[in-house]
Structure 1
């Protein structure tokens, strides 16, 4: 599977804010790995696909919102590796389909809609059994790929953190942060930036993922997770919410560094890092690695909504 993907590379960036603070900034470019299945989404899907194959299941069923990067990536990966895919979408069908769902359908994904109240039960055994009765033998991947297979894949994101002392990543479910924390060396830490309102709840989710993973018998790069923390003040109003300030930042960043940021995740994290650097949160000589988690496809649909 991995032979179809380019290895991510690290790109050093420098601007007036980092120069004044004496802080080194680099970006891990997961966004360049594959034109359709890239970013942290591939890492969260990888071992789920391998397990589905091992179980002889050829249909993947997963969950997501109407603009979900995970739905987009699962549809692409299913088409790429010969799986049938079913996307259970939160809310009612809206026609014409937005670019994300239109693409997923073009990739062969069957779209199924659940009202929001029913969708909130997506983790329950009852709803999952109902879906299996309806669609037959399916391999269920949770929303965002947030399971132990997803964590395992994310332990492979930062294969060589070198002398970076701080890894920064945007958070939706906390799966990526958990995997990274399990892969780091002594003296390194992870800062997660939730992209949704009241993201403090993710701390418990991350603790649960780490505890369950360490007790699962799955490979652990290090015996204990690296220190981690959440900074919850840069959600810009909530998940998939943006304002003109964030859009302006993303456009200026792209012009200066030739790196396109997605509005839902990476632009919020990059904005936060620049703001906190300017405010003196990081010490002179700190070396930060910012994870670009891909998801650029979402910009198209969001720009049409703005």
Structure 2
């Protein structure tokens, strides 16, 4: 589903958003795309367990738990932060993942940094037996194959610019691979630092893309009062909910760049809504504890 943002924009610019958040109630947005072919591969290999990694409010953790429940897999989540083990009921993401059948293994932040080391993976196999490993955030070649399906043939013909939020680089890599050479792709980084470009180059050969890291609002998972106020105002004007970690920062950035004259005349821009709305509840808990404005449109 594509919705037009019906506001006045200078230079005959048109702005649209693709509602990937509506694909599935649990496995929403880019997580649905990233898991599609990984689920097929796990079935092909006759695996019965999915194991993956994530933090306290990870969209990916919940999506894998949802995929396991829907497609008949056991699921294991290796969770960053030992202190969370006794606080599952206080964490809406982990509580829902557990409700969907996910088993947790809580590790220290130091140990978590070694999660890709062969010795750590061997330890996990000793503990849990055989499993299909899905990387943190879900990004691998099969995930990128799924993300290549976000753009339809009509999208490739109609839009001059494709923009999306960037976390691990998988979604934008898929979009780049399926784009036309005439289109420009812009990824809005949710993290500090410019290292994502190097990651993306491992998956793409085209050069019609760039990463903008000016709208991370302090870094991954960080928000400001300005951003929260923007999310509430945008919903009031459009009825489109945005998450504060990824899509909300992207939309803020696109609108700001339009005001600054970044996009050429007659640009037709498609923003990709990558989901992540489940994380709002946890974000609101944190904001309320600091007596700050909360995201007002989320009730789930």
Same fold (TM over 0.5): yes
What is residue 221 of structure 1 aligned with on the other side?
none
Query: Distance in 1 between the 2:209 and 2:184 partners?
Result: 6
Does the CA contact (< 8 Å) of 1:30 and 1:39 recur in 2?
Answer: yes
User: Do the aligned partners of residues 93 and 110 (structure 1) sit closer, same or farther apart at CA in structure 2, a change above 3 Å counting?
Assistant: farther
Query: Distance in 1 between the 2:7 and 2:171 partners?
Result: 27
Counterpart of 1:115 (choices 85, 92, 108) is 108
Query: Distance in 2 between the 1:112 and 1:96 partners?
Result: 13
* Number of equivalent positions: 282
Counterpart of 2:164 (choices 156, 169, 172) is 169
Q: How does 1:206-245 map to 2 (within 5 A)?
A: 206-210=200-204, 224-225=205-206, 227-245=208-226
Counterpart of 1:96 (choices 61, 64, 87) is 87
What is residue 7 of structure 2 aligned with on the other side?
15
Q: Normalization by structure 1: what TM-score?
A: 0.90
Q: Secondary structure at the match of 2:52?
A: strand
Q: Secondary structure at the match of 2:233?
A: helix
Does the CA contact (< 8 Å) of 1:21 and 1:278 recur in 2?
Answer: no
What is residue 124 of structure 1 aligned with on the other side?
117
What is residue 257 of structure 1 aligned with on the other side?
238
Query: Distance in 1 between the 2:216 and 2:239 partners?
Result: 24
Q: Secondary structure at the match of 1:246?
A: helix
What is residue 186 of structure 1 aligned with on the other side?
181
Does the CA contact (< 8 Å) of 2:23 and 2:32 recur in 1?
Answer: no
| Alpha-carbon displacement from aligned partner over 1:211-259 (angstroms, at most 9, x marks no partner) | xxxxxxxxxxxxx536110000100011111111001111111111110
Query: Distance in 2 between the 1:67 and 1:34 partners?
Result: 18
Aligned structure 1 segments of 4 or more residues deviating by more than 4 angstroms: none
Does the CA contact (< 8 Å) of 2:181 and 2:208 recur in 1?
Answer: no
Tell me by how many angstroms 1:37 deviates. 1.0
Tell me by how many angstroms 1:23 deviates. 1.0
| In the alignment, structure 1 residue 274 sits paired with structure 2 residue 264 | no
Tell me by how many angstroms 1:93 deviates. 3.4
Query: Distance in 2 between the 1:226 and 1:260 partners?
Result: 32
Does the CA contact (< 8 Å) of 2:247 and 2:274 recur in 1?
Answer: yes
Q: Normalization by structure 2: what TM-score?
A: 0.92
| Alpha-carbon displacement from aligned partner over 1:88-137 (angstroms, at most 9, x marks no partner) | 01111323320000100000000111111111111222211211121001
| In the alignment, structure 1 residue 70 sits paired with structure 2 residue 60 | yes
RMSD: 1.1
| In the alignment, structure 1 residue 292 sits paired with structure 2 residue 255 | no
